[in-house]
Structures are given as C-alpha cells and as structure tokens.
Amino acid sequence: MSTFLIEPGAKLANRYRLDHVVSETGGATRWKATDETLARPVAVWTFADGFPRTSEVVRAARATSRVPDARVTQVFDADDTSPVPYVVEEWVIGSSLAELLQQGPMEPERAAGLVAEAAEAIAAAHANGLHHLCLSPGKLMWSSGGAVKVTGIGVDAALLGSNVPQPGAIDAQGLGNLLYAALTGYWPGGPQSGLPGAPQGPMGPYPPGQLRQGITEQLATITTRAALPQLAGQMVPGPPITTPAEFCAALAEVPRLIPLPVAPAEAVPPPEPGTSRRTGEFDTTTGPRRSARNGSTAARSGGSRPPANSRTEQRVSQSQGSSTKRLLIGAVAVLLFAGVVAGAWTLGTNLRSGGGEEADPSADATEDVVDSAELEVLPIATSDGFDPLGDGSEHGDKAHLAHDGDTSTQWNTEGYKDPMGTEKTGVGLLIDLGSAKEVHEIDLVTPEQNYGMQIRIGDDVSATDPAALDSALPVAWEGSVNGSETVQLEESATGQYVVVWFVELPMDGDRYRGSVKEVEVRGL
C-alpha cells in the first residue's frame, strides 16, 4: 500500500506538480497539474489505493497515445508501476461545447462543422479499438489555438469499467446528442453540463427541426437518426445511425463550416491588416481554412437569423448613413484646416513685416517621426530556428534560406499536431543583428496562408518559459501575415535579436507548419 500523500503540491515522477482537483470518479481523481520540466499545464489522473481499474486505465491511455489524429487529446505519460500510478494528458485550453452554447444555439452549418470534426476523431479511435462511451458537451473542446479536441477517449470508458456489446452505437448516439445540443441548445437525454433537457413529446425528445427554425431537413434527419434512433424510420426517413463512421459519412454530404468560439449573430467586419488575425472559412468543397468566429444567439425557443436580403439591406443602409456622416465631417475638417492655414499665414506675414527673425523651418518638425525612406536595411549577422519552449531545435540549418534573397527557397518550422496554444504558445525564426539596433519595419514574404504572428525584439534569448520570454523578448507587433507584407511597428523597438514568432500555424499537409520565404529588417 502506498504511503504517498496525494494532495495539492505533491509531485509525481519528480516533475508533475499537482495543483488542484478538477473532478473525481469513484477513486480516480483528475488534477490540473504543472509539468515542471517543460513548464506547461497538464491534466493528471491519480488513483486511490484499491481502485480496481488502474491497469485498464493506463493501458487505455497508452493505446490512446497511438491514435494518429490531432483532435484526440494527447497522452504524455502513463505509469502503473510507480508508488502512485498516474496518467498525464494534454490540458486543453479553450471553450467546451457547453460554454459555447451559453450564448445560444449555433448556426446549423457551424454546428455541423464542429461535430463533424469530433466524429472523425471518434471514428479514428474506433479504428484503433478505442471508444468513448461518455460523450457530453464538456468533452468537446474548441481550443484557444483554434482546433477541435475530444477529451476522454479511451480513458473515460476504462475509468467507468464500461463493457457494452455495441460501443459503436453508443458513441454514434453520443455524437448525435452533441449535434442536437449544438443546433438547439438542449440535451436530449435530460439536463447535462449546464444545458437544459430537451422538451419531451409522446415519443421522447422532440426532433431538432421542431425546436428551431432554419435547420435543413437533411441535417435535422441525420441528427434525429443518430440522437433519437427510436424515431428513425417513423418521424424521419432512414435507419438509425449506429457507428461513428456512418455518422461521418452522413455529415460529409452536409454543408458545414468550422466555428470559432464566440461570435455575434451578425457577421463581424474583417479586421484591418496588421491589427488582428485574419479569418477565413472552411467549406468541405474547398478544404480547410481558418473560419470567422460565428455562432447564433437565437433563443432556445427556436429563434432564427433574419433572411440574407434583410441583413444586406440593413448593411447597405448603415453604409449609406456612414458615408454621409463621413462627407459632412470631411467638409468641416477642410474648412477648419483652411482657417488655420490662413491664420498662420497672416501671423507669419505680420511677424516678418515687423522686422523679426524668420522662424527656423525645422523648428516645427516632429523630431520623432522617421520617414521610411530614411530607414536602412539592417544586415543579419546570423539566424536560427527558435524553439525555447520545446526541444530547442527548429530546422536551424535552413534558417539562412529566409534571407538569401531568393523567394523560391524558404525556412520552415517543424510539423506540429497543434496549431500552437496547446502544447506551447509559439515557435519562430531568430534573427541576430549582431548588436542592438533600432528597428522600425520588417518585410516578410510567406506562402499565401494565414499565419498568426508576433514580432518580438530584445537582447536576451535564453528564456525557457513563457513569462520570462515575454520579458526578455517583448512583443513589438502582433497580427496576421499572408504572402508579402510590410510590418510597420507603431513604436520603434531596440534590440540585437528580432524573432518572427508564430502563434497560430496553418495546416500544411497533415501537420501545422510555419514558413518564411524572405525577411528583411529595416531601421536605424
């Protein structure tokens, strides 16, 4: 029997510090913890003495780590031979489906896109002999790095000791329940994770199409066949959906978009370049791109979005009103400017006619303003891949290709399963200017994909944790880059090192990857 005291502050394997309890399941405890070796948050399962399924959970965790799908929560470590057996998993930072639905049901296309991603992850797990069996709104996550994550695959089923004859049917119904919830804001099996139970009719929960307008018949039918199999063939055509693979195949025929966590009902105007990350959409006919944050704030009673033509008329009307206001403001500004110029000319004439000395024309110039024409290209002494929060290696041998004057060559980050934000906050290209320089602009050429990026400038590149990195190499600019861009810093920054720091990577093949074809630093 172990004499190890499991309480906050305890450390497992001399590296995992237990911070606080998240949940408990009959002798198994889930903790939020810190991996002190890699300075990152993790989730840790520990097991009380005598817990009967410790070995099964550890085996399931190890099997889950071998599922080749980035949407499956990663397992970092598992050991049932130590004094305190444990499983260490990825700590997903983001919003659960339950949290996303606090603002109301999602738009149908985005609900389909989100749950389709989860379905593909569950189908991949089934192909590897693993199941979930406990799908709920809290298990489907949209990470802060912009990726769908399904938590609990394999491990949850082992924790509960579930041994069912048709696990595929249970997970297919669980996926149907997730889609039902995303479309309506109700959980068909009763209250769950803060969501109210679905209204009941003579045959159980009402089909989603009866609770909310705007859901296409095809999507409503798929949801009903999966979530409410007793209604399949009676209230909707077709047999029940009984496996995650069938669910994926059915949703493949439905138009869908990938949602980002929070959005108003109306479309959000695109951000100005250089001020925030650009967004795109995901359409199953064209392939993956980043999607705009969107959702629905329709009431649970079944509200729907206004027709497209009414929204268009509203935007046109608003645009016309805004244009009129801008014209009036512009006219007033011109008149004021003319008055100021006339007054200044009169005052100058009077001063000169009085025999005073003419003012130095340079006296009124703003000394801090530096014209781009005055900036020089700052020579790059050396360059390297920069991965201080990981293993320290990032294709440094190819870093010179990012400033060789040839846009047909490029430096790449390593390929990641995470677009950044989960395992670590970023990765980048380190540029050494040889000595501290005043930096004003950076020219960047990347492939034509959206990259969430920061420009960091400082004199210390030895930090190995996020807080120290922010202090040693503060962020001078943050935004998105796509193709050829000139990044102009609002305020100049001085330092020996310039880091092109990727905080959001696009998908490149089967991995997330960042690329720089050319970079040029300008300053004084």
pLDDT band of 511, cuts 50, 70, 90: confident
Determine the Cα–Cα distance for residues 474 and 476; give it in Å rounded to an integer: 6
Of residues 276 and 434, more confidence is placed in 434
Q: Helix/strand/coil (H, E, C) string of 318-358?
A: HHHHHHHHHHHHHHHHHHHHHHHHHHHHHHHHHHHHCCCCC
> What is the full DSSP assignment across 108-173?
HHHHHHHHHHHHHHHHHHHHTT-------TTTEEEETTS-EEE--TTHHHHHHT---S-HHHHHHH
Domain 11-90 indexed as CATH 3.30.200.20? yes
pLDDT for the residue numbered 371? 57
Q: Return the pLDDT at 335.
A: 52
Burial class (CB in 10 A: 0-12, 13-18, 19+), 471: exposed
**pLDDT of amino acid 73:** 93
Closest of 485, 94, 67 to residue 277, by C-alpha:
485
pLDDT band for position 373 (cuts 50, 70, 90): low
Range with lowest mean pLDDT among 25-34, 342-351, 379-388, 427-436: 342-351
Decide if 175 contacts 97 (C-beta within 8 A): no
210 φψ region: left (φ > 0), alpha (ψ -120 to 50), beta (else): alpha
Of the listed ranges 66-75, 244-253, 312-321, 470-479, the least confidently predicted one is 312-321
Give the length of the chain.
524
pLDDT at residue 87 is higher than 90 = yes
| pLDDT at residue 258, as a whole number | 64
Q: Which residues of 309-327 are buried (b: 16+ CB within 10 A; e: fewer)?
A: eeeeeeeeeeeeeeeeeee
Residue 305 has pLDDT above 90, yes or no: no
State how far the Cα of 226 lies from the Cα of 244, in Å rounded to an integer: 9
Burial of 9 (0-12, 13-18, 19+ CB in 10 A): exposed
118-124 average pLDDT score:
96
Whether 79 contacts 223, CB under 8 Å: no
Instruction: Please indicate whether residue 37 or residue 309 has the higher confidence score (pLDDT).
Output: 37
Q: What share of the chain is helix, strand, coil (3-state, %, to 5)?
A: 30, 25, 45
CA gap 109, 132 in Å, rounded = 25
Query: In terms of DSSP bridges, do strands 376-377 and 204-205 run parallel, antiparallel, or are they unpaired?
Result: unpaired
Residue 481 backbone zone (phi > 0: left; psi -120 to 50: alpha; other: beta): beta
Q: b/e string for 274-294 if b means 16 or more Cβ within 10 A? A: beebbbbbbbbeeeeebbbbb
CATH classification code of 94-301: 1.10.510.10
pLDDT tens-place string over residues 123-135: 999 999 999 999 9
- Tell me which of 487 and 332 has the higher pLDDT: 487
Exposed/middle/buried for 129, CB within 10 Å: 0-12, 13-18, 19+?
exposed
Q: Which helix (H) or strand (E) holds 176?
A: helix 167-184
Supply the pLDDT for residue 274.
37
Q: Which of 24-33, 207-216, 312-321 has the lowest mean pLDDT?
A: 312-321
Judged against a pLDDT cut of 80, whether residue 252 lies above it is answered with: yes
Side-chain-side CA neighbours of residue 112 (13 Å): 25
Tokens 């919830």 sit on residue: 181
Residue 243 has pLDDT above 90, yes or no: yes
Q: What does the pLDDT average to over 14-36?
A: 93
Q: Per-residue confidence at 248, pLDDT binned at 50, 70, 90?
A: very high
d(CA 1, CA 507): 48
Residue 57 gets the label, from left (phi > 0), alpha (psi -120 to 50) or beta, of alpha
DSSP code, position 232? B
Residue 493 has pLDDT above 90, yes or no: yes
Is 493 strand, coil or helix? Answer: strand
Bridge partners, 86 (sequence order): 46, 79
Q: What is the pLDDT of residues 436-479, one digit of tens each?
A: 999 999 999 999 888 989 999 999 988 888 778 888 899 999 88
The Cα 210–Cα 220 span in angstroms is 9
Share the mean pLDDT of the chain: 80
Q: Determine the Cα–Cα distance for residues 37 and 503; give it in Å rounded to an integer.
A: 22
pLDDT for residue 29: 94
Q: How far apart are CA 198 and CA 217, in angstroms?
A: 19
By C-alpha distance, which of 69, 248, 71 is closest to 149? 71
pLDDT > 90 fraction of the chain, expressed in percent and rounded: 56
pLDDT score of 512 = 85
Write down the residue that tokens 């990347």 correspond to: 446
Q: Rounded to an integer, what is the distance from CA 424 to the centroid of its chain? A: 12
Per-residue pLDDT, 219: 97
Q: Return the domain boundaries, the chain.
A: 11-90, 94-301, 374-523
Q: Which CATH superfamily is domain 374-523 in?
A: Galactose-binding domain-like (2.60.120.260)
Q: Structure tokens of 104?
A: 């109301």
With pLDDT > 70 as the criterion, what percentage of the chain qualifies? 77
DSSP letter assigned to residue 518: E
pTM: 0.53
Beta-carbon count within 10 A of 16 CB: 22
Residue 345's pLDDT is what?
45
Question: Binning pLDDT at 50, 70 and 90, where does residue 47 land?
Answer: very high
